[in-house]
Structure 1
């Protein structure tokens, strides 16, 4: 569903262009911040358009203003508009666990033979444990109660927002009950024979969220 202002699309486009120019941004820089194309930004600024709600929110974030500043009554321009002000916020443990449950791909970091190794894995979260599958001859499959780090995140470069959760704990071979619990819930994208189930026992779970206002 398209979103337009009462003053017409040209009025909103003019406000967007003036705000962009006041910040000293090019259309390509705004496009990168919003995830839109440069052609789309040019169209919004210069011609009639139908703007979606998501595009409007992205533009407001990219230009460091509230949506109402773009769509509300015209206000006098300020000589030095406030830039985006990213805020880094710690997250509670229960919020971190909710986010771990919400995705199925994370990264594990462990000590290899000669150096640290970081690889993505498909996983599931069951009974306060993280379970993943690997090849029987992989390095991590040989571990038993060894230190490991596990990380999941989601980032939006256009909005300059995102979150990350870090789990520190121990990795070991999964027990038979754990394997039964995880069966059907872990499907490695990499394919091949990955029938060895490993369990991460979390000792500490921390998370951070970044917001751009």
Structure 2
């Protein structure tokens, strides 16, 4: 059954989380409204207090803020007694946990050498068969790479809770093969638009991740 038109129960602090995430991305409520198709007035009401959302609205909101529904709707952490600030705890993540996070997202960052400088740019991507596939312009610097070193990274952060995680992939990048292109064709749509018909594949050599907790 299609639930996109039905209201879903959302946590009372969703608006706070949406506002913090929007601010951290440097977005206005109007820009979030444009990305989601939800009115600016409705976005502002959400940040001011609880309102009913449809499942579709919640999904579009998570995508527009480059996060997940789980991160937006995670149960609030209650404290019954004041606590002193603790030093953040940095925890390594298992490879399978990192892969699950990579597969759940659609936007990441790649870092590679261009001429005599290191370049970091965001890309839309998909993950499958142990490959990260993204699209770029045929005349871009990364499109000229073949079996060259590259790094790929995704992360998320909750500034209010001072929690977050990051996943780093070190590997090589090369032009995608025809079977890989066919698999990714309907799964990768660059937000930047324009002609970006060159498919590149990242072959992971090392996948690591870390979580930071201050509780």
Partner of 1:188: 190
Residue 181 of structure 1 aligns to a residue whose secondary structure is: helix
Structure 2: how far apart are the matches of 1:55 and 1:180? 36
1:45-124 alignment to 2 at 5 Å? 57=76, 60=78, 66=79, 69=80, 81-124=83-126
- Name the larger-Rg structure: 1
Gaps of 5+ in 2: 1-8, 22-48, 52-72
- Shift in Å, 1:51: 9.3
> Is residue 205 of structure 1 aligned with residue 178 of structure 2?
no
Residues 35 and 55 (structure 1), Cα distance of their counterparts in 2 relative to 1, 3 Å cut: farther
2:145 to 143, 146, 150: 143
> Cα distance 1:121–1:2, how it changes in 2: closer, same or farther (>3 A)?
closer
Across the aligned residues of Structure 1 and Structure 2, the Cα RMSD in angstroms comes to: 3.0
- TM value normalised by structure 2: 0.65
What is the number of equivalent residue pairs in this alignment? 154
For residues 51 and 183 of structure 1, the distance between their equivalents in structure 2, rounded to whole angstroms, comes to 39
List structure 1 runs of 4+ shifted beyond 4 angstroms: none
Which position in structure 1 is the counterpart of 2:129? 127
Counterpart residue number, 1:167: 169
Q: 1:83 to 1:125 in 2, by over 3 A?
A: same
What does the per-residue CA deviation read over 1:123-151, in whole Å, with 9 as the maximum and x for residues that have no partner? Answer: 00010000000000000000000000000
TM-score, normalised by the number of residues in structure 1: 0.65
